[in-house]
Amino acid sequence: MDKDKDRQSPWAQARPRTGKATRPERASGAGRSQPDERARAHIDDANARPPRPRASTDTARAPGGPSQAQPAREQRLYGLNACLAAFARRPDALRKVYLVESRMGALKAVLAWCVQRRIGYRVVEAEDLDKLTASRHHEGVCFDLQRPEPLTLNALLAAQPEAPAPSLLLWLDGVGNPHNLGALLRSAAHFGVAGVIVPTGAALDVSGAAARVAEGAAEIVPLIQAAAGLALRELRAHGYLFAGTVPRDGMSPYATVLPSRLVLVLGAEGEGMSGAMIEHADLRLTIPGSGAIESLNVAASVAVLLGEYWRQLHA
């Protein structure tokens, strides 16, 4: 955290989206770096100690079985850019803020919002955030927020331009690592991907770890669960072709004209795409390399393939 404490977040100038043109109150007294007594009164006294980390807030379990819990209604995010992006996009979802003292300047607008809306916040030590987030990579801030309503496949498709206009989606077939999810969401946002689709029941969600690695991209690129069979039919009906990624014997993306209306399918680490998805693909792509290792990891593969798609589309 120390090495980037003075580096301004790209989300630092973002302001919350709200229907009311309100003027935030100051969260600190004149000439003082600490919040004044009125601001501190909004800290929830019932939580004298930071609560223990709640694994359920970062893990959305698949519905279906009697012993399977529904996804938690709140999520715990950490990391400066992840938290500021969530605040800029959905400030009304904010429920609680934890921060170290050195982050008060970067989070001045957030604290003013908390004072105005009577939302609890606590200035804590870095060790407290280690426990709250179950990570040492929290960057001095942690937000509890209400989860956004999940976007449906129909809503995603309705927001896309009609065929044959270009549109790019990702389909993750068995990917489960949250750090890979965060990294590929960041690449997806950079290259204009409209959404990421996972099969219904997939044990993949935008956890705190994924959101931190995504650096704000999790608020830009939606993650959508959809029944595989129905999704395949709907996507084809909307003019999409499918490109599967395989470690060998596929076409080089640099020697292939990629469809402009494309669903790029990527499989899990080690296992790769399922046989059914490989059979469904209109083309199979292999990223060429030295052969010293079998393939790139999924996040690196996404960055390479999306970069080539962008290059071809804008050539």
CA distance 218 to 300: 17
Which pLDDT band holds residue 244 (cuts at 50, 70, 90)? very high
* Same-domain status, 193 and 133: no
Pick from 33-37, 70-74, 178-182, 211-215: least confident: 33-37
Residue 280 lies in a domain: yes
CA distance 182 to 225: 17
Helix (H) or strand (E) holding 214, with range, is: helix 208-214
Of 146, 174, 195, the last residue of a domain is: 146
> Is the pLDDT reported for residue 4 higher than 60?
no
Measure the CA angle with vertex 186, ends 55 and 243; round to 5°: 105
What type of residue is 292?
A
Q: What average pLDDT does this structure show over 43-57?
A: 40
Cα-Cα-Cα-Cα dihedral of 64, 65, 69, 73, to 10°? Answer: 10
Give the pLDDT of residue 176: 85
Give the pLDDT of residue 45: 37
Contacts of 290 (CB under 8 A, 6+ apart): none
* Same-domain status, 173 and 223: yes
* Same-domain status, 161 and 301: yes
CA distance 19 to 183: 32
3-state DSSP call for residue 164?
coil
Give the pLDDT of residue 193: 98
CA distance 310 to 315: 8
Give the pLDDT of residue 260: 96
Q: Which residue has the tokens 């606590």?
A: 122
Q: What is the DSSP letter of 30?
A: T
Measure the CA angle with vertex 68, ends 64 and 74; round to 5°: 110
Question: Where is mean pLDDT largest: 30-39, 69-78, 167-176, 269-278?
Answer: 167-176
Residue 170 lies in a domain: yes
> pLDDT digit string (tens) for 145-193?
999 999 999 999 999 999 999 999 999 998 889 999 999 999 999 999 9
Give the pLDDT of residue 264: 97
* Same-domain status, 122 and 27: yes
| Cis peptide bond upstream of 53, omega within 30 | no
Give the pLDDT of residue 17: 60
> How high does pLDDT run on average in the chain?
83
Higher pLDDT, 92 or 66: 92
Strands, DSSP E only, in the chain?
A: 74-78, 94-99, 120-123, 141-146, 167-173, 195-199, 223-226, 241-245, 261-267, 283-285
* Same-domain status, 198 and 268: yes
Pick from 3-12, 32-41, 108-117, 236-245: least confident: 32-41
Give the pLDDT of residue 18: 54
Percent of all residues in the chain with a pLDDT value above 90, rounded to a whole number = 66
Which pLDDT band holds residue 270 (cuts at 50, 70, 90)? low
CA distance 231 to 237: 10
Contact 168, 262 (CB under 8 A): yes
Domains contained in the chain, number: 2
What type of residue is 218?
A
Of 95, 112, 146, the last residue of a domain is: 146
What type of residue is 281?
A
> Is the pLDDT reported for residue 41 higher than 70?
no
Of 146, 162, 180, the last residue of a domain is: 146
Which pLDDT band holds residue 272 (cuts at 50, 70, 90)? confident
Predicted model pTM: 0.78
Which range marks the domain in which residue 80 is found? 2-57+68-146
Residue 63 lies in a domain: no
* Same-domain status, 196 and 283: yes
CA distance 135 to 225: 27
Contacts of 218 (CB under 8 A, 6+ apart): 82, 85, 182, 185, 206, 210, 211
* Same-domain status, 165 and 302: yes
Q: What average pLDDT does this structure show over 274-284?
A: 89
* Same-domain status, 129 and 180: no
Residue 62 lies in a domain: no
Give the pLDDT of residue 61: 34
3-state DSSP call for residue 133?
helix
* Same-domain status, 241 and 308: yes
